[in-house]
Chains A and B, each alone.
Chain A
Amino acid sequence: QSVLTQTPSVSAAAGQKVTISCSGSSSNIGNNYVSWYQQLPGTAPRLLIYDNNKRPSGIPDRFSGSKSGTSATLGITGLQTGDEADYYCGTWDSSLSAVVFGGGTRVTVL
């Protein structure tokens, strides 16, 4: 059971938009910054979003992040077949003094 809760799977047609939620508590998301990672099949994760809503260089603006209270959201617009992957949220948990990840969300492009 992960400390951060993510919907196990989402799907949408190519070109459409999906949102992935990440729910936590005041000890993690509520008082720390959230990052998001994409893991394509058989590869290492890749940073998509850090500090709640910042994109590293090279990440297209189709990917966006936001945070409200103890929840965070990753949005993907203009969905492409290459976006089929597992997506994870992560942050520091001040009570545990540990990093926590969500259980992951698999995105399927119909």
Chain B
Amino acid sequence: EVQLVESGGGLVQPGGSLRLSCAASGFTFSYYAVNWVRQAPGKGLEWVSGISGSGGRTYYADSVKGRFSISRDNSKNTLYLQMNSLRAEDTAVYFCARQGYSSYWYIDSWGQGTLVTVSS
């Protein structure tokens, strides 16, 4: 069974930093691209970032480019999101999401999410 378990969320002040982790199990982690998708309170889904299976290619939404960094450690089956210069508008539940094994983008498995609150 595919499992994605996020951790690292919490309360942080504006301008601060936080690192999210996502522990994957139940599949060969290095075979799959993975993404971070967030959802602000009462709002819709917003894609944040994605990384290829090898980690060689990364992609970012314009809203986080230059502030967030995605990475992965395939030896530990873990995905990371380093978030710097956090703003109030970054407050959201952050989901770790596995991309389908296809040439075309879609998400086939989601974690339960971790809440990040940016407030003074």
Chain A residues in the interface with B (C-beta under 8 A): 2, 32-33, 35, 37, 39, 44-47, 50-51, 56, 86, 88, 90-92, 96-104
Contact = CB atoms under 8 A, between A and B. Distances in A.
Contacts of A35: 105-107
Given A37-B45, A99-B47, A101-B46, A90 B106 contact: yes
B26 to A, nearest CB: 15
Chain A facing B: main interface SS: strand
A57 B109 CA distance: 13
B61 interface: yes
Interface residue range, chain B: 20 to 34
Interface in B55-70: 59-62
Chain B facing A: main interface SS: strand
Given A44-B95, A44-B111, A102 B106 contact: no
Contacts, number: 70
Given A35-B105, A47-B108, A100 B113 contact: no
27 contacts: A33-B104, A33-B105, A35-B107, A44-B111, A45-B45, A45-B95, A45-B107, A45-B110, A47-B100, A47-B107, A50-B102, A50-B104, A51-B106, A56-B108, A88-B44, A88-B45, A90-B106, A91-B105, A92-B105, A96-B62, A97-B59, A98-B47, A98-B60, A99-B61, A100-B47, A101-B46, A104-B45
Contacts of B46: 101
A7 to B, nearest CB: 13
A99 B108 contact: no
Given A101-B45, A101-B47, A104-B44, A33 B107 contact: no
